[in-house]
Amino acid sequence: MHIEFSDEQNMLRESAARYLADNYDFEARRKTSSAAPGFSPAHWQQFAEMGWLAMPLPEAQGGFGFGAVELMLLAEEMGRHLVLEPYLETVVVAGGLLQHGALQELLDRYLPAIAEGTLQGAFAHGEPGAHASAQNVRCHAAPAVDGGFILSGEKAVVCNGPNADILLVSARLEGVAGLSLFLVEADMPGLERRDYATWDGRRACDLVLREVSLPASALVGEAGSAEALIERVADTAVLFSCAESIGAMSSLLDRTRDYTSQRVQFGKSLSSFQVLRHRMADMLVEIELCRSLMLAAAQRLDQDTADSRRLVSALKVRTVKAARFVGQNAIQLHGGIAMTDELPVGHYFKRLALLEHQFGSRDDHLKRFCDAA
């Protein structure tokens, strides 16, 4: 396996790396994270101007129609710089669900706005007291007389929910087997939000939907067929979040190597102690094994085959394992200083921990991997 990146792909990676290195410093990030909306509208606008928000969207709606490899390259740089902006939620997931399921009318209304940076989205799938999964969806939709729907239920830990203009809500439509997906605008009557910060410095909310009236066009994809649609988009989201984790882990290893090289104890640098050298070597091994799976998955993801799904699940399982090892040892090797809010290390650690459970846990993907064999 060898991936030769195109000139365009190399340029994307380099420009993302350069922009974030020059403009995304940790102190500014801390300030942004400490108050609503929890991301920087100025950065978001820059992302739009650089074309990042349009990247994976279809050309018909102002996008570039780029695929999984480009998303992966961007995600890795975002992970390396601990970017707060809700790219995954808005562009990859909300954009992806619309792109693969919504009617032309909705595509034309929402996708150009996502590409321009004027609209944000969120996916409301998980519910209180349960892991997010199709099985656990209890939200209920009833057909209305005008051909529309009445939506009721509760959703939990909706990432980027507080900033989302549109929410994609999974529910069970009366009389139809399987899951259905609905587009809900954030200002609709009957929608109650409880916003909060999450441990990684981002924003999420819990939602209560009380008989929210939706038009017929709010149904995204066929009634009862949302599970396949969600699975397909979740695979891209898993690739994105794993690439983000790999970027974060790479930064942690760099920081750990630098710190242990300059920190002197017992008259020599910490990095000269064999037990710490071996630990850092193991951290590198963990990251590179994930990177191999990530590259393989990115190459095949757009084909959406049993093989690509199996690779994505392998990537998720392996990345969670690596993220724990690398995150925990980055703190261990730094010592007490990494337990402070002041150093970026712990913030990477928290982001890695929260990414573990998005779009299926390690256990869920291990089962999926077994079932796909």
Partner 1 sequence: MKQEAFRREVQEFLEQSLSPELRRAGQLMTSVFADFEATMQWHRILHQRGWVAADWPEEYGGTGWDINQRYIFQEECKLAGAPALLPMGLQMLGPMLIRYGTQAQKDYYLPRILSGEHVWCQGYSEPGAGSDLASLKTTAVADGDDYVINGSKIWTSYAQYASHIFCLVRTSKQGKPQAGISFVLVEMDSPGLSVEPIIGLDGRAEQCQVFFDDVRAPIANRVGDENQGWTVAKYLLEFERGGHNFTTDLKKQLSRLRRQGESECGPDGTPVLQDSATRQRLAELEVEALALECTELRIKGALAAGDNPGALSSLVKVVGTELGQRLSELGLDILGQEVARYQPEAMEPEFAGDVLGPDCALTSMAEYINHRATTIYGGTAEIQRDIIAKQVLDL
Binding site for partner 1 (CB under 8 A): 126, 128-133, 135-136, 156-157, 194, 196-200, 204, 206, 264-266, 273, 275-276, 324, 328, 331-332, 335-336, 338-342, 346-347, 349-350, 353-354, 356-358, 360-364, 366
When the beta carbons of 274 and 303 are compared against partner 1, the nearer one is 274
What separation in angstroms does the CA of 157 have from each of 11, 23, 85, 318, 322?
36, 30, 17, 24, 24
Q: Shortest Cβ distance from residue 277 to partner 1 (Å)?
A: 12
DSSP letters, 44-113, are HHHHHHTTTTTTTS-GGGT-----HHHHHHHHHHHHHTT--S-HIIIIIIIHHHHHHHS-HHHHHHHHHH
Give 1 or 275: the residue with its C-beta nearer to partner 1.
275
Cβ-based nearer residue to partner 1, 188 or 366 = 366
Residue nearer to partner 1 on the CB measure, 145 or 275: 275
| Contact in structure between 82 and 347 (CB atoms under 8 Å) | yes
> Residue 18 class from Cβ within 10 Å (0-12 exposed, 13-18 middle, 19+ buried)?
exposed
CB nearer to partner 1: give 222 or 364.
364
∠ CA 14-18-22, rounded to 5°: 175
Residue 183 CB, nearest approach to partner 1 (Å): 22
Closest distance between partner 1 and the C-beta of residue 266, in Å?
Answer: 5
Q: Are strands 149-159 and 121-124 parallel, antiparallel or unpaired?
A: unpaired
What whole-number distance in Å separates Cα of residue 298 and Cα of residue 285? 20
Q: Toward partner 1, which CB reaches closer, 28 or 130? A: 130
Question: Closer to partner 1 at the Cβ: 246 or 338?
Answer: 338
Look-up: residue for tokens 């939602």?
207
State the minimum distance, in angstroms, from the CB of residue 219 to partner 1. 24
We find the least distance from the C-beta atom of residue 111 to partner 1, in angstroms, to be 27
70/244 with CB nearer partner 1: 244
To partner 1, the closest distance from the beta carbon of 363 in angstroms equals 6
Q: How far is the CB of 128 from partner 1 (least distance, A)?
A: 7
> How far apart are alpha carbons 120 and 168 in whole angstroms?
11
Q: What is the DSSP letter of 183?
A: E
Nearest distance from C-beta of residue 331 to partner 1, angstroms: 5
Look up residue 373 and give its DSSP letter.
Answer: -
Which residue in the block uniquely carries the two structure tokens 């630990």?
279
Q: Taking the complex as a whole, how short is the minimal distance between the CB of residue 201 and partner 1, in angstroms?
A: 8
Q: Rounded distance, CA 5 to CA 20, Å?
A: 20
4: DSSP letter: -
**Beta-carbon contacts of residue 344 (< 8 Å; ≥ 6 apart):** 26, 82, 251, 255
Handedness of CA 362, 364, 367, 373 (dihedral sign): negative
Token pair for 105 = 């009318």
Closer residue to partner 1, CB minimum distance, 96 or 161: 161
Q: Least distance in Å: CB of 348 to partner 1?
A: 11
Q: Which of 18/131 has CB closer to partner 1? A: 131
Single-letter amino acid, residue 350: K
